[in-house]
Amino acid sequence: MSDATPAPPAGYALVTGASSGIGEQIAREYARRGVPLVLTARRADRLQALATELRAQVPVELVAADLADPAAPEALVAELARRGVKIRILVNNAGYGIPGRYRSSDWTDHAAFLRVMVTSVCELTWRLLPSIRTAGHGRILNVASFAALMPAADGQTLYAPAKAFLLKFSEALALENNDKGVHVTALCPGFTYSEFHDVTGTRARMRVSPSMWLQAADVARAGIDGTERGDVLVVPGWRYRVLHAIVKLLPHRLALGMMARNSRKVRPLD
């Protein structure tokens, strides 16, 4: 009897938003596990550097795409078909935040945000689901946020609703595709060390206990492990799991009031 580690099932993992943060760490973790990769993001130079590094472990395909472009999901899937790349795992990770209250940003900014955070996720999933269902051991990992599990906050008005949509979307997909052995997971991390708060310009205003910050590599590993187990919801970090349990027990008005008082610790002023 051989003690060799079995090879992973055939098929690529497509990771959106793979150029930094949690997406980059998810790509690194899949490469460590021997899963070939398709990496996509807007920043082609950073993708190329990561692809060059990871090709020492697994085959890596690179497709630069801006998911704020309504044509991007269809074009991305068409390019994969042209290359003959079969997707077994889809990681919908691309995302960002728009700081400030709702009317402080133009509608064009909000519309682009929704295309990246919601519409492109739905379209990529719809277009790739047949391949994922037929590949065997299919997986869909949607990177949501702990914000999806909490009352809404003041500022970044569309962020929590978009992430809550990903959670419900994941639950429905999990039920619909369980018959084919497809595992669908919503990963809901809390505050994570990445470029997120630098991009939104909120880093200097963050007044969050150091104990509440997560490492992106730990979040990535927790999400992939949860997807392999078939967990529909993954909340990394025991402190966040305890907080989630407490918030569920609070009256909604009280929980919303607590969020209103704490929003100013992590949100920029208009």
pLDDT digits (tens, 9 = 90+) for 103-133: 999 999 999 999 999 999 999 999 999 999 9
Task: Please tell me the distance from the alpha carbon of residue 6 to that of residue 21, in angstroms, as a whole number.
Answer: 29
What SS3 state is found at 104? Answer: helix
pLDDT at 197 over 80: no
List the catalytic residues: 159
Task: Please tell me the distance from the alpha carbon of residue 85 to that of residue 14, in angstroms, as a whole number.
Answer: 10
pLDDT higher for 8 or 146?
Answer: 146
pTM, rounded to two decimals: 0.89
What SS3 state is found at 62? Answer: strand
pLDDT higher for 119 or 197?
Answer: 119
12-266, what's its fold? Rossmann fold (3.40.50)
Task: Sketch the domain layout of the chain as residue ranges.
Answer: 12-266
pLDDT per residue as tens digits for the range 209-261:
788 999 999 999 999 999 999 999 999 999 999 999 998 888 888 878 777 76
pLDDT per residue as tens digits for the range 8-29:
788 999 999 999 999 999 999 9
Average pLDDT over residues 189-193: 92
Confidence bin at 193 (pLDDT 50/70/90): confident
Residue type at 195 in one-letter notation: E
Q: How many CB atoms neighbour CB 122 within 10 A?
A: 14
For residue 189, the model assigns a pLDDT of 97
As given in the structure block, the two tokens for residue 154 are 């003041």
Cβ distance 135 to 86 under 8 Å? yes
Computed over every residue of the chain, the mean pLDDT equals 90
- Helix H, strand E, coil C: the string for 187-239 is ECCCCEECCHHHHCCCHHHCCCCHHHCEEHHHHHHHHHHHHHHCCCEECCCHH
As given in the structure block, the two tokens for residue 91 are 């990681």
Which candidate, 101, 86, 98, places its Cα nearest to that of 10? 86
